[in-house]
Amino acid sequence: MKQIGLHEPFFTGKEKKYLIKCIDENWVSSSGKFLNLFQRKFQNITKGKFLSPVLNGTIGLHISMIQAGVSKNDEVIVPTITFVATINSIKYVGASPLFMDVDEYLNIDEQKTIEFIEKKTIFNNGYTYNKITGNKIKALVVVHTFGNAARIEKIFEICKKRKIKLIEDAAESLGTKYNSGKFRNKHTGTIGDFGIFSFNGNKIVTSGNGGIVVSKNKKDSLKINYLISQAKDDKINFIHNEVGYNYKLSNISAALGLAQLEKLNLFIKRKKSIRDYYKKKIETIKGVKILESPKYSQNNNWLNLVQISKKEKMKKIIKKLNSNGFQSRPIWHPNHMQQSFKKNYKYKIKKAEEFVKSIICLPSSVSLKNKQIDKIINLIK
């Protein structure tokens, strides 16, 4: 039986045409016109000014950590509910995650984060120190989880005041913008010092593998572009004055990504109608509710989640859906409970541990049919 995935790629545009062009014109690696066109299209959509196309979102996080100056023995504040790549990128530079709880949208709990910074840290000589460990807190990552824009206004202010670099993990939130408040009309991922996007096959648009880093400052962006291209100072004599990385996106990926970006509005429309349909149907089931998205933003509705009031039924529902050909699973296991990160500092985490026992991810691909949603609903019932 063919399984209906949670988020499958959908190709109906110029993907093949652009890919063939790359091959015909012999531009398949880290240079070529599609890299420029892809970035221009992305810039049009997000208004993000300074861009660095990278091989994937994880690499985008890694290079942002480096450019944010995060290094050995530093700490980075991060929500416990996120894909493990967010946390791994902190480890790659020898720093430690400092775990926060999440709010009702599964994003970093703004109130607890502010409370932690105000009560448990001190500001000295231009750095914020964790009072308990004595380590510097160099960065804070907000994750726009499952396409939901995170509450960011107060976090933005305190990061500025405390000289903490703000990194937005917008891997899942292409198409999600704020529609009220200080950041009205701003696209997620374009507010912090760095914002990263992913174009993995499971995202709203894909370039196979791929990512983009949006930098707030030109200087940071130039440095990132230098680092991701092997830190080449002299192209003829191959002089490298720093340790660089082979992290740049390929023209092939950019070609695929461009064709997908051209369809983004259509994908967002379909995602919205899938969300509305699920919502209408799920309202008829007692003890199950769809997780709402924030009213302060226009959401890309990347993934649909339901919360089950009888937690003991969750495993059974997941098993039933999977055995009938519909992929489903709980949300990510909270990272502060993962083997590799158990010893790291965590602050008043409560909701995250509850949510992982009661929330189920449901198929949400652009290609999903209403008839298939009806089947999913019947299985849950």
Give the DSSP letter string of 251-304: HHHHHHHHHHHTTHHHHHHHHHHHHHHHHHHHTTSTTEEEPPPPTTEE-----E
Q: How far is the CB of 148 from ligand PLP (least distance, A)?
A: 11
Looking at residues 131 to 150 of the shown chain, list those that interact with ligand PLP (rule: CB under 6 A): 143
Burial 142-152 (b: 16+ CB within 10 A, else e): bbbbbbbbbbb
∠ CA(330), CA(110), CA(79), 5° rounding? Answer: 40
Residue with Cβ nearer ligand PLP (198 or 365) = 198
Site for ligand PLP in 190-249 (CB under 6 A): 198, 200, 211
Give the list of residues 6+ apart from residue 123 with CB closer than 8 angstroms, or none. 129, 162, 163
Identify any residues that bridge with 13 across adjacent strands, giving them in sequence order.
Answer: none
When asked if residue 171 is in the footprint of ligand PLP (CB under 6 A), the reply is yes
- Of 224, 182, 143, 173, give the one whose Cα is nearest residue 45: 173
Which C-beta is closer to ligand PLP: that of 50 or that of 146? Answer: 146
Total of residues contacting ligand PLP (CB under 6 A): 14
Minimum Å gap between C-beta 125 and ligand PLP is 32
Nearer to ligand PLP, 281 or 336 (CB): 336
For ligand PLP, the binding residues in 298-317 under the rule CB under 6 A are: none
Are 106 and 81 spatial neighbours (Cβ–Cβ below 8 Å)? yes
The answer to whether the CB of 352 falls within 8 A of the CB of 101 is yes
| Residue among 39, 58, 128, 300 that touches ligand PLP (CB under 6 A) | 58
Q: Considering the complex, what minimum distance in angstroms separates the CB of residue 254 from ligand PLP? A: 14
Q: Residues of 112-128 as b/e, b for ≥16 C-beta within 10 angstroms? A: bbeebbeebbeeeeebb
Alpha-carbon dihedral sign for residues 197, 201, 205, 207: positive
Q: Candidates 28-36, 132-140, 168-176, 321-329: pick the segment binding ligand PLP (CB under 6 A).
A: 168-176
Nearer to ligand PLP, 188 or 298 (CB): 188
Contact window for ligand PLP (CB under 6 A) among 43-51, 81-89, 215-223, 244-252: 81-89
Report how far residue 357's alpha carbon sits from residue 348's, in angstroms, rounded to the nearest whole number. Answer: 18
Chain positions 86 to 115 lying near ligand PLP, rule: CB under 6 A, are 86
Task: For CA atoms 47, 51, 57, 61, give the dihedral sign.
Answer: negative
Shortest CB 342 distance to ligand PLP, Å: 21
**For ligand PLP, the closer CB: 82 or 190:** 82
Exactly one of 57, 147, 195, 208 binds ligand PLP (CB under 6 A); that residue is 57
Find the binding residues for ligand PLP in span 173-192 (CB under 6 A): none
Residues 6+ away with beta carbon under 8 Å from 337: 80, 353
Q: Is 297 in the site for ligand PLP (CB under 6 A)?
A: no
**Closer residue to ligand PLP (CB): 77 or 380:** 77
Q: Which is nearer to ligand PLP, 167 or 368 (CB)?
A: 167
Interface residues toward ligand PLP, by CB under 6 A: 56-58, 82-83, 85-86, 143, 169, 171-172, 198, 200, 211
